[in-house]
Structure 1
C-alpha cells in the first residue's frame, strides 16, 4: 500500500474515532448497554489506530530533526547518536505501517496487551524515615529478588544509590521473564510502610518509615517518541564499583527530558554508551507511565480501580514487624506471616489483588 493511501485511511479512522468519543459519553448511549459495548469496542480499536497515526507523524518530524543534526551539528558524538536514531526511526516507520495495515484490514488483533509485558522497570526509593527507610529499600529489594527467583524471572540492576549507613536511597531494576510480568508486578506500585524497632533505637520504640515502589512497563521505541533535541545529557564519574576506571573516566550518564523534566541516571556500566542506552530505556518507560496516568485521569470510562492505577502517592501496604503482619490497605487483607512474605512469598497477596481488580 502506498504511504499516501495509508495516511488517508488513517485520517478517516481518526475522524471516526473523534465521533465515537463524543457518542460514548452521551447518557442515552451509556444507558443502552448493548450499543455502549459495541461502540466502546470500536472506540478501543480505533484508539490504537489513532495512536499509531499520531506516532507516525511524530516519527516523520523526528526524522527531519535527525537529518538536520546530521547536516548541521559539528559534535561527533551527537552525529553518531543521530545516525543511530535515524535507523531506529526508519525501522519504526516501517513497523508502524505494518501495524496500521494489520489493524485497518484484519478482524483479529494480535497486539500484546499491557499486562502481558515480559519486561518491566521497577524503581525503589527511600521516603520518610532517613537511614531506616534506606534499610527497608534493601529489605524490599531482597523480597522482590527472592520472588523473581521463585517465578523464574531474571533481573539486572540498572542504577543504584547507596544510603548513608546501609541500604539504598534509590535502586532501579530491569526484570525479564515469562509473559505477564507486568500483570503481576503492577500491584506493587505505591507507598510501602514499615513499622518496627530500628537496630539503632536504644529505648525499644517502634518507628514508622516508608519507601515508594514504581513498576513501569518497559516500552519499545515505537510506543514513546523521544527527540534528541529534547534531551539534555550530562556525564559524571561513577560512584559505584569499577576500580581505577571509576576515577579516570566520566562513564556515568544523566539524561533530562526537557518537556517533562524527567531525569534519569545510570552508572552501573563501565561504558558511557551502554549507560546511555539503559538510561534512554528507563526514560521511555517513565514518559510512557506519565502519559498513561494523564490518560487515565482524562478518560473515565477506561479507568480501572485504584489497585491498578499505579499511583505512587497512595499508601498501599504496611509491614508491621512487632505483630508479624503485612496488610494491604486496598483490599483490607492481612497476612500473619511477615517472615515468609519478606522471603518472597508474595504471590498470595497478588492473586487476591487480581481477584479484586477483576470484580
Structure 2
C-alpha cells in the first residue's frame, strides 16, 4: 500500500494539545503537563515526517515524468534516473517510521511493574519452577539496571514458591515485560521422579502496570480488610503479631494477601499497591478490547493446554507458542537472557498493530493453528 492512513485526526489532536499548552494553568499539574508535552512532541514529529513523505512523493512523480519524457534533456533525465532508487528507499524508510508513530502508544509502557508468579498444575515441581522463574526475572531485571522489591510470597515445603509478588522499578519496565503474562509450561524429569519420566507442570505469570492513587479511585466502603497472624511452611510462625493483611475488593472479588513485612501498615500499603495495579490492568484491558485480534490473552485457568511458552529441559528448548519461536538455548534463558524472545514478541506485536492500522490481513502465527508441542 503506497498511501498512508489519513493524517487529519493526528493534526487535529496536535491542535488540541497546542491549545492546552497555551493555557496559563497548563503547568499546575506537572505529571499531566509532562505527558501532554511528550505526546505533543511525538505528534509534531509525525506531522513533519508526513509532510516530508508527501514532498518525496511529488519529487518521485516529477522524476518519473522526466525519465519518461523523450524530449527532456538527456543529462537531466540521466540524473533523475540515478536519484530515483535512493529517493524511493528514503521514502520507504520514512513510511515505516510514520506507520510506527501512528500506532497508538500504550500509556502504561513507561510504568513500573508488579509481577505475580503462581504455581499451577504439577504439585511440588510447579512450585520449584515458579521459584526458578522468579530467579529468571530477577536476573533479567538486574541485567537492565532495574530494581526488585519483594511484596508477598508463599514458600512450599520443598523450597519452591507457591506464589510470589514483587515490584520491578526502572525505565520502560512494563513495555518489556508485558508479553510475559500467561501460562508457562515446564517439561522435565523432577528430582522426585525415581523412574526418569518427564513431567509437565504449569506456572501462571501476571504482569501488571504499577498504579498510582490517581489512576484508580477505590471507595473504602468497597474494601473488606482483615488482619491475621502470618505463618510459614509447616506451621512455623513468621512473626508473633497480627501483621498479615488480606484485602478483598467486593465489586470485583479481587483478593490480595500480604504478609512479608513485619509491620501491619507496610503489608496493608503493599496489598493496596497490588490491588490498585490489578484494577488498573482490568481498566486497561477493557479499553483495549477493540484490539482483541492481537490475541494477547492473560493467564487463563492454569491448565496444561493454556500455555504461551514451554521450557523443555530434555531438548534444551524454549518455545513461545504465540509466535512459533523456538530457541535451543534453555540454560541462557533461565539465566535471564530474554532479549531475543522479547524482541521477537515486540516485532510480532508491531506487525499485528500495523495490520489493524492499515486494514491489511493479520499475520498468521504458529499458535493460531492449535499446535500443542
Quote the Cα distance in structure 1 between the aligned partners of 2:12 and 2:257.
40
Aligned equivalent of 1:183? 175
Distance 1:200 1:240, change over 3 A: closer
TM-score normalised by structure 2 residue count: 0.65
Instruction: Indicate the residue corresponding to 2:119 in structure 1.
Output: 126
Aligned mate of 1:156, from 140, 143, 149: 149
Contact 2:239–2:262 at 8 Å: present in 1 too?
Answer: no
Q: Over residues 259-280 of structure 1, what are the superposed CA-to-partner deviations in whole Å (9 max), with x where a residue is unaligned?
A: 0110001111111111111110
Counterpart in the other structure of 1:79: none
Separation in 2, partners of 1:324, 1:101: 46
Q: Tell me the TM-score normalised to structure 1 length.
A: 0.68
Q: Does 1:260 align with 2:252?
A: yes
Residue 115 of structure 1, CA deviation: 1.1
Partner of 1:192: 184
Question: Which ranges in structure 1 are unaligned for 5 or more consecutive residues?
Answer: 1-31, 50-93
Change (3 A) 1:229 1:100: farther
In structure 1, the residue corresponding to 2:142 is in which secondary structure? helix
**Distance in structure 1 (CA, Å) of the matches to 2:317 and 2:238:** 43
Q: Specify the alignment match of 1:305 in structure 2.
A: 294
Map 1:129-140 to 2 at 5 A: 129-140=122-133
With over 3 angstroms needed to count, the CA separation of the structure-2 counterparts of 1:223 and 1:40, relative to structure 1, is farther
* Residues 304/120 of structure 1: CA separation in 2 closer, same or farther (3 Å cut): farther
2:367 aligned residue: none
- Matched residue of 2:230: which SS? coil
**CA deviation map 1:205-247 (0-9, x unaligned):** 1110000000100011111011111111010112259xx9944
SS in 1 for 2:251: coil
Which residue of structure 2 aligns with residue 143 of structure 1?
136
Closer, same or farther: CA 95–252 of 1 in aligned 2, 3 Å: farther
Distance 1:148 1:39 in 2: 35
Determine the structure 1 residue equivalent to 2:193.
Answer: 201
CA RMSD of aligned residues (A): 3.2
Displacement of 1:312 in angstroms is 1.4
Deviation of residue 148 (structure 1)? 1.1
1:186 touches 1:310 (CA, 8 Å); kept in 2? no
Q: Deviations over 1:281-302 (max 9, x none)?
A: 00000011122223322xx2x4
- The alpha-carbon distance between structure 1 residues 253 and 321, as it changes in their structure 2 partners (threshold 3 A), is same
Please state if 1:328 is matched with 2:320: yes
- SS of the equivalent of 1:116 reads coil
Alignment partner of 1:38 is 2:25: no
Deviation at 1:99, TM superposition (A): 3.8
* SS of corresponding position for 1:183: helix
- Which residue in 2 is equivalent to 1:165? 158
Indicate the residue corresponding to 1:249 in structure 2: 241
Question: Deviation string for 1:164-188 (max 9, x for gaps)?
Answer: 433011100111112x111100011
Q: 1:289 aligns with which of 260, 265, 281?
A: 281
Partner Cα distance (2:313, 2:34) in 1: 55
Alpha-carbon distance between aligned partners in 1 of 2:136 and 2:34, rounded to the nearest angstrom: 44
Q: How many matched pairs?
A: 270
